[in-house]
Structure 1
Amino acid sequence: MVSNSLLVRANNLTCSTQECISTAQSILKDIDLNVDPCSDFYQYTCGSWIKKATIAEDRSSTDVMRNILEGPYENAYKNLLTTDKGFHTEDLANIDKENFQTMQDYYNICLNTSYIDSVGPTPIYLDVAQLENILFPVTDDQTLVSLDHRPLISQTLAMLEAHGVSTLATLFVDADDKHPDMNAILFDQVSLGLPSKEYYEDLTVLEKYRVGLNDILFKVLGEYSTPDDAPIRASESKKAGFQPWDKQKIETAVTRYIGFETKLASIALKKQVFFYNIEDMQDPVKSYNPTKLSDFQTQNPSIDWIGVLETLIPNGGTGIHSPETIIVRTPEYFEKLNTVLTNATLLTLQEYFVIQYVISRVYSLDNASRTANRKMNGEISSGTSVEQPRWRICVGYTSLSFANSLGRYYTLKKFGSETERTRAETFLKTIHDAWLNRIPHITWLDEQTRAKAIEKVNLINHKVGYSVISPDLRNPSSIQEYNAGLSVNKTSFYETEVTSSVWYSNKMWKKVGQPIDKDEWLMSPQTVNAYYTPNSNEIVIPAGILQSPFYNIAYPEYLNYGGIGMVIGHELTHAFDSSGRKYDGKGNLADWWTNATSAQFEEKTKCFIDQYAKFNVTGPDNKAIHVNGKLTLGENLADNGGLSASFLAYKKLQETKPDPVLQGLEQLSPDALFFVNFGRVWCRKQREKVALQMIYTDEHSPSTARVNGVVQNSPYFAETFKCPAGSPMNPVKKCDMWGLCVKAVLAYLRVFT
């Protein structure tokens, strides 16, 4: 083991600032000192927090955004965290006010539940009537789908896609893995109504789904009404040419819908929610299937795919049409989809399209409709049907629809401006350097692969805090230009959401055939998250996660390195996880590993798959559900690699800048507090149904596994807490990919001395 003098550098300094005192008190409220950290480190760091916490997350960021949205424009620039240095304010005040007003108008119509409830679900009537009577009219319930119906199906699918509603398949525009500077059209499998295909194999869940859909459709399309909205339901249905569905029609339609969707689920691959990573095809090479559009059309004749794309791609005089080649991520799905369609009736498809549209829009309708939807989701996956306060819901919607507008003001209130962004970038660079400088000491890499790995790390780009180009959040004109055409209907929240969906869809399809805008962010600055993009070989650390407990400029550095340092290291490690390693430094999907080194990598992953598969969570009915070690492999590799990189970066800093201990926590060394803050940033409490859903759909391991799995593999943790060999947190067999042995740590640290 590394000597105690190296890893636990004691000093007599105690941090007595108010920030340190309050932070120490916060840590003491979270940790459970009665738990042995060598037995269960997650319980040690989070035990007291778990006992006292409610399911609701910390709301500080949401509260800040609420104050911005509910106050006058002038208040957006009061009580800033620091200055607005580098931000255009007075010179572009008029444009800034216009941006603010549009954003606030959106928030206010979302809040206006009195009007939303007074009109019931009637705003959706016209759209449903168009689906039933114009786009997809059906005269009987016996006619099977044939090639004669291809125009009918294709036009409807295109219209729904243009409104941001995916149905039979998921079509989107993104980077071409082998030409990462250009946008391509990608075809992926269906987006299912239930969280994952496993749910369709559970008869109890399907029954809850049936009951829930019946209730939703009765409230939205049925004869349900209240004394207040009955007159407007009658008048608006007549005006729209919409015939309300009776109970028998609803029940029959729901039965057909679930049967049809179950067939789609049966031909779909197991999928993850984020970025369409597929457990059955986690290798990006296998999911990269460039295909001539004409060939794809011939092989999949049930839908006029060429016509769908030509409808979606806005020509606008640019001369952009359907490309010659598309990328099909799940060819097996599309092959089987043809069979599913030809065995379905036209009425089944019509009802499928209508129900998909209703479910996608129900959140913007009246309280009765929203309540039915919440109840169904609570029964199946969320575990609760309690509605959050309306202001909180509307803050979330505004943060999505007007991400950059709200992000500008949030950043100044909660993060700072250019000085803080520069400071955070400097911090990030220390983790980056640690990742880079340990590569020469990774013994299983051969020289050829090592050289390419070093090249890739050197090319990783950083984006920190907030967007400064596309758009430039410091410049109101840039935000206005980015949002051009995004409008608000000051009367109808539903209509605003429809036009917003069309706007976002149109913005995406305009990218076809265009170069990738590598300056555009995929997350808003207020998002409490971070990401790595393999096609751009970049990491993005938004202002939203550069907050306590992850990061605070007043923290002792060991807390920052244990918190945001680990997150940064995690994102850097994604460049070398089971998927990211398949891309080179320029973002190309290319095999730059030698066969021998690649084989060693694959062999090492088996240890992580087996290790994490031993963790479990408690699902419904107290059933233990094991983590899917294969599904979570990439994130587990990133967690392990990220913490070790951050720890090494901290050790480098500690050599020249010893940190003080915290008052009341003097028994814990700076190294111990590094690990404590790592553990506490992942403290979570969730309902059993959510835990089950996450096991099936989330590529991240549950919090217990994220914390304990990493420390089990860390010799530095074992030394810091003096864990006996063979204890639960210090197993004899450790999984390692990008960590360093003790001898290598000593060599690594000499790089800086």
Structure 2
Amino acid sequence: MADTRDARPPTDEETAPLLQDVDHPNADSQPQRSSFASIMHEPLTPLTKVLLVVTLLFLLLSSTFIGLFAGAQHKLNTGHGGDSPATVTSTVYATATQTQTSTSTSTSTVSVPGPVPTGPPEDPACLSADCIILSSSILSSLDSSQDPCENFYDFANGGWLKEHPIPSDKGVYGNFEALAQQNRRVLQDILTSDAYVSPSTLTASYDEQLMKKLRGLYASCMNEGKLNELGTEPLAAVTNNIRKLLYGETTVVGDKAPHILEKKITGLTAAIAYLHTRGIGGLFETSIEGDVGADPNFMTLWFSQPELGLPSKEYYDEDSFVELYQEVLERLLITLSEEEEYIDAPELSATRSEEVVYQERLRVWPPWPWPPWGGDGDDDDHDGDDEPEPMDPEKAHKVAKNVIKFEKAIANASLDLDILYQDPIATYNPVPIDNLTEQLPQIDFPEYFAAFTPRNYPNTAILMSVTYPSSLSAILNETNAETLEGYLVTRAALALAPYLGYETEAWKAVRSLEERLKGLKKGAVGDRAEFCTTEVESALGFATGRYFVNETFAGDSKKKGTQIIKDIIETFKSSLRHLEWMDKESATAAAEKADAIRVKVGYPLSPDTENPASIALYYSRVEIDSETFLENILSSNANEEYLTWQKLGKQRDPETWEMYPSTVNAYFNPPANEIVFPAGILQPPFFSRTWPGYLSYGSFGQVAAHELTHAFDSAGRMYNQHGKLEQWWTNATSEGFKERQDCIVKQYSEYTIDDGKGGVIHVNGNLTSGENIGDTGLIQSYRAWKAQYESGLANGSEYLLPGLNFTREQLFFISFARGWARNIKTESAVARVRTDPHSPNQYRVDGTVYNIPEFAKAFGCSAKAKLNPPKEKRCLFW
């Protein structure tokens, strides 16, 4: 799940969901089956005939699935790597009557063949069509040739992985991606339908406004002919503005973004403000979040390092990637230089002689004098007598090479990601704004802030790295004009080229880099409609979210999802009293923090998903009047930056979200002390309001437990119940936690992935420690399920599925593992292991159950099994 530390700080019940949930019999009774004998004695009315046929079909399907599973079960019983099954000691586990919630149980043991799933309970199975389909989907995901006690991820997902190869245009495809794709199909239907009927005539005009913007943006993306006709011109207009601002040829930063006041500033400050106000990164990054050291709800300026052109600093030491990256930058520089020679020339020139001067100016890299922020005008490449140098391939090669050298210097000056993500103490460094200006004098920060038109100007900045501003200043002082210009231009090109037509040189150049980094098939392009739907969702996600929720989040979905979360919170609080490493004082404080966590499910109220007027106001500054897709995207980006900066100096709005309703993800925000679950993830295979409890708690329950546990992970534990950064555990408890954290760092650091070159890359246990600890929360979901098991059994919500020769306990863990099914290209896997604070999915499954004794008990694992280690090797947090 996502965590707001990973990225920059994405009711009335509705009816008739478009995505059909899996139904089950009435919760007040056990599933009822028809009596075949009684039917035979009734007159064969048309209705009786229909019912008879339906009954026969259900029986036939049931027997077929049971027969198929019997063969698979036979393979499982004899397929543990030897000629005959081993005899091991296994726990006798009685599913129908087990109610104990403690992790310490008294058990009896017998010698049985295994390890194999324990026998199915004798309760009658649900034989409805939906139950049969759900059972079939579980069976088809399994690989019974795998031993669950050795390779549980492969056992639970092998069938799914085999049947879902990675599309040629993607680097990864798993259940998260499949659900996101399914959600986008819902949005696509909304965007392409002829009309939308507002639920209320009072709000119809606002829904009409929103639909016009959504469909206008989608149409501008889908108009491939127009995009190819425009070519690189929309991008060249942006890069041309960057050049003019950098050299003082224009002073209007707010051009083509009407909601941003026109601020007349010059030089590097103007150029970087122009990029940042349009959501394009470079040099440094700013964000608005609570001041966690003083008042977590007082929104403050945070200053950090930027993203790089390549995924991580390691890539800058690999010749093959550097060579490709340099080639891509050269292609971008040349094509943009050629295009810019004709951009805006008539408008900028009052006479022909001025136009000639302007065109001449464009062919000189860099214009003179330099640097734009002042100085004596010295430059290594210009002594005042040099002739203008055109942007030819040789020049582009030189500039691209220097840009990469410049980026590598920034990478070396940046914090390592494990510190950036996992050490909130080291990354909290409040300083006066004057201090930031002194460290980085090349940027006029008051003028930079003015470009965002905040209502309150900051007098304090929180540095995530105390050394980065001064290091960046030193790098800038050693960088000549043409290199800095090339850097700014290519940052814009890399970010915006994907919004151009497929036939443009800029799009092809950036795509070639993406293909190499992600392992995509060369020349393979995905469905245009899917791409455009994704971009509309990204640009106007709260608007698309309103209609997504109307279509998919019906009935009591929100109520049932919230109940699972609350059950897990209560179970977590109960478990705190039994932790040997946590003293009573710290346990009491942890329970108070758990009680104080704000739970958000489904969709936000700011902007209000149920009120189109609220959403229309949120997007009122977004102009989608242009046929130019890139200009529409820039308008949306500028709106987001504007709204973000309006938060500065204010108290946090408790109803805001950092994800859209259709997002397949969830997050914990430490300063706000909140856990958030969009409607997008509250869909199968993660959630259905009609599923039996053991599936619901195994799938969505693990999502909820993961986010809750983030509040007490390696970084989250440093924030108190109010979101303030302080020491609120006793020293003894902190030491006990640190021992377990060291344990899990060591465990995951031993895991490896293939590097694609005949070697391996180790998982960064420090970088992933927070997420790995979050995954240990699965035990809380298991305990929460067991705590409600008897009542669930009584009301029919623990019904069995046909053909599944597994206990409910086993199906709980299978349901957990299925959510993490994912095929991934080697290149994408390498990029993720270097940059992602989440471990590879295989280890998120096997590494998690390794630390849960209840898993080994459920599957009767041998004491020698890989996933049943001795207690001293387990990292037991909870």
How does the TM-score come out when normalised to structure 2?
0.76
Alignment-mate amino acid for residue 93 of structure 2: N
Residue 528 of structure 2 is aligned to residue 390 of structure 1? yes
Equivalence for 1:747: none
**Does residue 269 of the first structure (1) align with residue 415 of the second (2)?**
yes
**In the aligned structure 2, how far is the partner of 1:134 from the partner of 1:423?**
54
Aligned: 1:648 with 2:648: no
Equivalent of 2:333, from 194, 199, 217?
A: 217
Q: 2:309 aligns with which of 193, 213, 217?
A: 193
- What is residue 446 of structure 2 aligned with on the other side? 306
Matches within 5 A, 1:308-387: 308-315=448-455, 320-321=456-457, 323-367=458-502, 368=504, 369-385=506-522, 386-387=524-525
Q: What corresponds to 2:841 in structure 1?
A: 703
Match of 1:13, SS state, is coil
Q: What is the identity, as a one-letter code, of the residue corresponding to 2:416?
A: K
Number of aligned residue pairs: give it. 694
**Aligned pair partner of 1:680 in 803, 813, 818:** 818
**1:694 Cα deviation from its structure 2 partner:** 0.5
Conserved in 2, the CA contact under 8 Å of 1:215 and 1:372? yes
Going from structure 1 to structure 2, the CA distance change for 1:328 and 1:222 (only over 3 Å counts) comes to same
- Would the aligned equivalents of 1:637 and 1:737 in 2 still touch at CA under 8 Å? no
Q: Which structure 2 residues correspond to residues 336-735 of structure 1 after superposition, within 5 A?
A: 336-367=471-502, 368=504, 369-385=506-522, 386-416=524-554, 419-467=556-604, 469-641=605-777, 643-658=778-793, 659-665=798-804, 667-732=805-870, 733-735=872-874
Task: Report how far residue 257 of structure 1 moved.
Answer: 0.9
Give the whole-Å Cα distance in 2 for the aligned partners of 1:430 and 1:262.
48
1:117 aligns with 2:228: yes
Q: Tell me how far 1:132 sits from its aligned partner.
A: 2.1
* Corresponding residue number in structure 2 for 1:64: 186
Shift of 1:251: 1.7
Cα deviation for residue 151 of structure 1 reads 5.6
Q: 1:203 to 1:49 in 2, by over 3 A?
A: same
2:138 is equivalent to residue 22 of structure 1:
no
Q: Would the aligned equivalents of 2:623 and 2:636 in 1 still touch at CA under 8 Å?
A: yes
Please name the residue that 1:180 is paired with.
296
Q: Deviations over 1:25-45 (max 9, x none)?
A: 111111101111011000101
Q: What is the match of residue 5 of structure 2?
A: none
Query: Contact between 2:851 and 2:876, CA under 8 Å: does it hold in 1?
Result: no
**Amino acid corresponding to residue 436 of structure 1 in structure 2:** K
Residue 116 of structure 1: CA displacement? 0.8
SS at match of 1:576: coil
Does structure 1 conserve the Cα–Cα contact (< 8 Å) formed by 2:430 and 2:463?
Answer: yes
| Residue 225 of structure 2 corresponds to residue 73 of structure 1 | no
SS at match of 1:193: coil
Task: Please state how far the C-alpha of 1:220 moved relative to its aligned partner.
Answer: 4.1
Counterpart position of 1:751: none
**Post-superposition CA distance 1:551-586 (Å, at most 9, x none):** 112221111111000000000000000000000111
Bigger mean CA deviation after superposition, 518-527 or 4-13: 4-13
Q: Rate the CA distance shift 1:427–1:311 in 2: closer, same or farther, 3 A.
A: same
Tell me the amino acid that sits aligned with residue 484 of structure 2. Answer: L
Q: Is 2:394 the partner of 1:248? A: yes
CA contact (8 A) 2:332 2:509 kept: yes
Q: Does 1:738 align with 2:877?
A: yes
Q: Is the 8 A contact 2:440 2:470 kept in 1?
A: yes
How many Å separate the matches in 1 of 2:597 and 2:420? 28
Three-state SS of the structure 1 residue aligned to 2:288 is strand
Letter in 2 for 1:345: N
**Residue-by-residue CA offset, 1:106-126 (whole Å, 9 max, x unaligned):** 111111111011011112333
Residues 748 and 765 in structure 2, CA contact (< 8 A), matched pair in contact too: yes
Q: Residues 106 and 488 of structure 1 are in contact (CA less than 8 Å); yes or no, is this contact kept in structure 2? A: yes
Retained in 1: the 8 A contact 2:539–2:637? no
Preserved contact between residue 558 and residue 671 of structure 1 (Cα < 8 Å)? yes
TM superposition shift of 1:382: 4.5
Q: Could you tell me which of 287, 290, 293 is aligned with 2:433?
A: 293
- 1:222-268 CA-partner distances (Å, limit 9, x unpaired): 47xxxxxxxx9967777676647432332222112111111111111
CA contact (8 A) 1:574 1:638 kept: yes
Task: Report the alpha carbon displacement of residue 298 of structure 1 after superposing the two structures with TM.
Answer: 2.0
Q: Summarize the Cα distance change of 1:54–1:90 in structure 2 as closer, same or farther, 3 Å threshold.
A: farther
SS of 2:822 mapped into structure 1: coil
1:14 CA drift (Å): 0.9
Deviation, 1:134, is 4.2
Instruction: Determine which structure has more spread, i.e. the larger CA radius of gyration.
Output: 2
Q: Distance in 2 between matches of 1:107 and 1:427?
A: 37
Separation in structure 2 between the aligned mates of residue 236 and residue 555 of structure 1, nearest angstrom: 61
1:169 aligns with 284
User: Which string of whole-angstrom CA distances, capped at 9 and with x for unpartnered residues, describes residues 435-478 of structure 1?
Assistant: 122111222211111110011011111100111x2111111111
Q: Aligned Cα RMSD in Å?
A: 2.2
In structure 2, the residue corresponding to 1:279 is in which secondary structure? Answer: helix
| Maintained 8 Å contact 2:282/2:488 | yes
Q: Cα distance 1:238–1:217, how it changes in 2: closer, same or farther (>3 A)?
A: farther
CA-to-partner distance for each residue in 1:139-164, whole Å, 9 max, x for gaps?
xxxxxxxxxxx962222222222222
Contact 2:312 / 2:834 at 8 angstroms: preserved in 1? yes
Q: Secondary structure at the match of 2:123?
A: coil
Bigger helix share: 1
Provide structure 2 residue ranges, at least 5 long, that are not aligned to the other structure.
1-89, 100-117, 167-172, 250-264, 349-357, 364-390
Match in the other structure for 1:745: none
Q: What 5-or-longer segments of structure 1 have no aligned partner?
A: 78-87, 139-149, 224-231, 272-277, 740-753
Q: Tell me if 1:100 matches 2:100.
A: no
Q: Deviations over 1:494-519 (max 9, x none)?
A: 21122222211111111111111121
Q: State the alpha-carbon separation in 1 of the partners of residues 327 and 438 from structure 2.
A: 40
Deviation at 1:166, TM superposition (A): 2.0
AA matched with 2:316? Y
- Residue 354 of structure 1 deviates from its aligned partner by 1.4
Say if 1:490 and 1:281 are closer, same or farther in 2 by CA, change over 3 A.
Answer: closer
8 Å contact 2:420–2:427 — kept in the other structure?
no
- Mapped to 1, the partners of 2:435 and 2:767 lie a distance apart of 32
**Cα shift at 1:203:** 1.7
User: 2: CA distance between counterparts of 1:534 and 1:134?
Assistant: 38
Identical residues among aligned pairs (%) = 31
User: How far did residue 171 of structure 1 move?
Assistant: 1.1
Displacement of 1:3 after TM fit?
Answer: 6.3
C-alpha separation in 2, matches of 1:415 and 1:527: 13
In the TM superposition, residue 269 of structure 1 has moved relative to its aligned partner by: 1.7
Q: Contact 1:33/1:44 (CA < 8 Å) preserved in 2?
A: yes
Q: Distance in 2 between matches of 1:567 and 1:235?
A: 51
1:735 alignment partner AA: R
CA separation of 1:283 and 1:587: change in aligned 2, threshold 3 A? same
Deviations 1:362-416 (A, max 9, x none): 1222222222211112113444442221111110111111111111111121222
Which residue number corresponds to residue 6 of structure 2?
none
Give the secondary-structure state (helix, strand or coil) at the position aligned to 1:301: coil
Change (3 A) 1:234 1:349: closer
Moved more, 718-727 or 7-16: 7-16
Do 1:487 and 1:500's aligned partners in 2 also have CA atoms closer than 8 Å? yes
Q: Deviations over 1:515-538 (max 9, x none)?
A: 111210100010000001111111
SS in 1 for 2:823: coil
Normalised to the residue count of structure 1, the TM-score between the two structures is 0.88
Q: What residue identity is the alignment partner of 2:432?
A: K
